[in-house]
Structure 1
Amino acid sequence: MKATTRKIRDADATKARILAAAKSEFARVGLGGARVDEIAERAQANKRMIYHYFGGKEDLFKVVLEEAYLDIRNAEQALALDHLSPREALETLVRFTWQYYLDNPEFITLVNSANLHRGRHLEGSERLRVASRRFVEMVRDILERGAGEGTFRTGVDPVQLNITIAAIGYYYLTNRFTGAVMFERDYMSEDALEQRLAFNIDTVMRLVLA
């Protein structure tokens, strides 16, 4: 029994190392540029283990993408926004999304890579569909509570609102290099990041306030 338990723990640890290495490699060079040899070396595993646990490179890419999206969805649920007032809940969500992008730059590059391949690696993920439905319902609940107390206007689409929350942070960060050249400002200075967050919150609130 002890030997079996240890074997399971070892297998779980190996899979975790492979996923972490693959996430880093796919975020760095994309699906096309990633090499199984490099992932194996980073994970301190051999190629046979990668094929054994995950199949080929594309299968591994699917798992990495699914886990990346599920991570942010689970983190959003952990905010427990239903215990906050609608206005505070929505502001918390905007702050969280912004900070998540800053803390997890690999997520943004993985999203870029997923869209480069037209989302086909996520099409079969029922786990992701379920998590996304839960997220939409969470935002819908915030909006309905706000409308019910007269704070928010009625008829705001939770999906459209989420697209806006994601976009105003995502675009700023993915275009920070070209933007710095064109607008002659340091997008990533502490002051600039604080100003951007304040602008994001103000923008979203103006969209929903009654």
Structure 2
Amino acid sequence: MGAVRDPEATRARIFDAAVAEFARHGIAGARIDRIAAEAKANKQLIYAYFGNKAELFTHVLEKKMLDLAAAVPVLPDAMDAWIDRLLDYHAAHPELLRLLFWEGLEYGTRELPDEAERQDHYARKVATLRDGQERGIISDAIPARDLLFLLVAMANWAAVVPQMKRILVGGEDTDADRLRASIKEAARRLVAT
């Protein structure tokens, strides 16, 4: 009796292998044959399920960003908790920031393949912050879109450049705790009314 085919399990294996491959090597350096080998799938299935390499990358990044949005919604009423959850999420899922960094290297300021969807994704987060500003629970001194960018940058930068974090902040657990407290204090000051 032959092996039972499970298309969803195969898609999941391909997706997981693609996440690892793109996080490790970026868009240009990733290889479909390595993804296929890791996923125990043939290359034709990858193309059939996800399209070409650039389309696969776009799909991978979109799904990882949706996972983050679902796991860590913006909380204007609880900014400390949001920053903590964002820091914890990226510590547990470092591949997302790596994927975004590779995307930045590949595309720079050029339009992304899923630009409209990405704008919608961020517009919802900005609207949440703007709502907090309109309700007077966070400062409107900085426009909501800039505020989101600044808060995310503060929370994410140490994970993007761990070597810089180690050199400037230190590499001990106490240093990481101190940095987290500093990020949260800076966030509190940015949003304070």
> Which TM-score applies when normalising by structure 2?
0.86
Number of the residue aligned with 1:175: 161
The separation in 2 between residues aligned to 1:14 and 1:107, in whole angstroms, is 22
Segments of 4+ moved more than 4 angstroms: none
> Is 2:118 the partner of 1:128?
yes
Number of the residue aligned with 2:184: 201
The separation in 1 between residues aligned to 2:142 and 2:164, in whole angstroms, is 33
> Is 2:174 the partner of 1:191?
yes
1:84-163 matches, within 5 Å, as 86=77, 89-118=78-107, 122-145=112-135, 147=136, 152-163=138-149
The separation in 2 between residues aligned to 1:53 and 1:137, in whole angstroms, is 34
The separation in 2 between residues aligned to 1:47 and 1:57, in whole angstroms, is 11
Q: Tell me by how many angstroms 1:179 deviates.
A: 4.4
Question: Is the 1:69–1:128 contact (alpha carbons within 8 Å) kept by the matching residues of 2?
Answer: no
Question: Is the 2:138–2:191 contact (alpha carbons within 8 Å) kept by the matching residues of 1?
Answer: yes
Q: Which amino acid aligns with 2:184?
A: I
Question: Is the 2:33–2:43 contact (alpha carbons within 8 Å) kept by the matching residues of 1?
Answer: yes
The separation in 2 between residues aligned to 1:14 and 1:140, in whole angstroms, is 41
**Structure 2, unaligned stretches of length 5 or more?**
none
Q: Which amino acid aligns with 1:117?
A: E
**1:17-36: CA deviations, max 9, x gaps?**
11110010000111121111
Q: Tell me by how many angstroms 1:202 deviates.
A: 0.6
> Is 2:5 the partner of 1:16?
no
Q: Which amino acid aligns with 1:206?
A: R
1:59-74 matches, within 5 Å, as 59-74=55-70
Number of the residue aligned with 1:166: 152
Q: Tell me by how many angstroms 1:153 deviates.
A: 3.4
The separation in 2 between residues aligned to 1:163 and 1:133, in whole angstroms, is 12
SS in 2 for 1:117: helix
Q: Tell me by how many angstroms 1:42 deviates.
A: 1.0
Q: Tell me by how many angstroms 1:134 deviates.
A: 1.5
**1:3-59: CA deviations, max 9, x gaps?**
xxx97xx22221111111001000011112111111011111111100111122111
> Which TM-score applies when normalising by structure 1?
0.79
Q: Which amino acid aligns with 2:120?
A: V
Distance 1:14 1:193, change over 3 A: same
Number of the residue aligned with 1:3: none
Q: Which amino acid aligns with 1:207?
A: L
Distance 1:143 1:92, change over 3 A: farther
The separation in 2 between residues aligned to 1:14 and 1:201, in whole angstroms, is 41
SS in 2 for 1:185: coil
